[in-house]
Amino acid sequence: MSGGNALSKNNAVNNPSHPAAGRGNALISLRSVYKNYETPSGSFPALKDINLDVNPGEFIAIVGKSGSGKSTLINVLTGIDSPSSGEVHVASMAVRGLNQEQLAVWRGKNIGVIFQFFQLLPTLTIAENVMLPMDFCNTYPARERRERALYLLNKVGIAEQADKLPADLSGGQQQRAAIARSLANDPPILVADEPTGNLDSQATDSVMEFFEDLAQEGKTVVMVTHERDLSQYFTKTITLSDGKVVSSSLLKDGGGLE
């Protein structure tokens, strides 16, 4: 092997953003992903040549200034939006090849999404909110769904709130309920968009410790955040700027890292 070829191979192995790095055991893999939006003033590139691997058991932070492409990246890897070009493989599925109905079912079974503003339905009890994904995807028999909802609410420490409405809970409790809902179908991947943005420091630490525990159990957690003081929880930080990955920093070993 020539020196140039050896260097190219080493770059691919050591740099997960290198286009030559194969999917391997990656649970999430993006290759040469671009996303353009058409505007009255012309095409706007929101993502530019994104190459990214996320392994099982990793707890990933996606950071960057407003407008850097964080939300677009999350939308692409969850199938909410389609890339203009490139490959997106998530949970062994080529996401671009799915129609809207297939996407909805695939997403419900493989990805749990957690939002900054909780997105709990106000007229349903907490337990009923947690049961919704199971109802949609029919992953558990109807007779088992409440029992599983209670199990998950106990896991996040708010089982006693099961029959209350969201408005009766604190912000931290509502976010725990949202986490329980995201786990309803036992997905391998959790995607959290600024989940601690509206929480106090105590509730933030509690949520982050729970995410860390989930990653250690083998879940893959991808979290968008502006809060750089949370770095001790993550296995890796990916920084975006102007739609590009400008750095990928390994912080500590995760379940999917060798």
Position 115 scores a pLDDT of 84
| CATH at residue 180 | 3.40.50.300
176, part of any domain: yes
Position 2 scores a pLDDT of 40
6, part of any domain: no
Q: At 22, phi and psi to the nearest 5? A: -70, 170
234, part of any domain: yes
Per the structure, the complete domain to which residue 72 belongs is given by 57-82+110-250
Position 16 scores a pLDDT of 39
98, part of any domain: no
129, part of any domain: yes
Which positions of the chain have pLDDT values less than 50? 1-22, 256-258
Position 248 scores a pLDDT of 87
103, part of any domain: no
Position 25 scores a pLDDT of 80
Position 178 scores a pLDDT of 93
93, part of any domain: no
Number of domains in the chain: 1
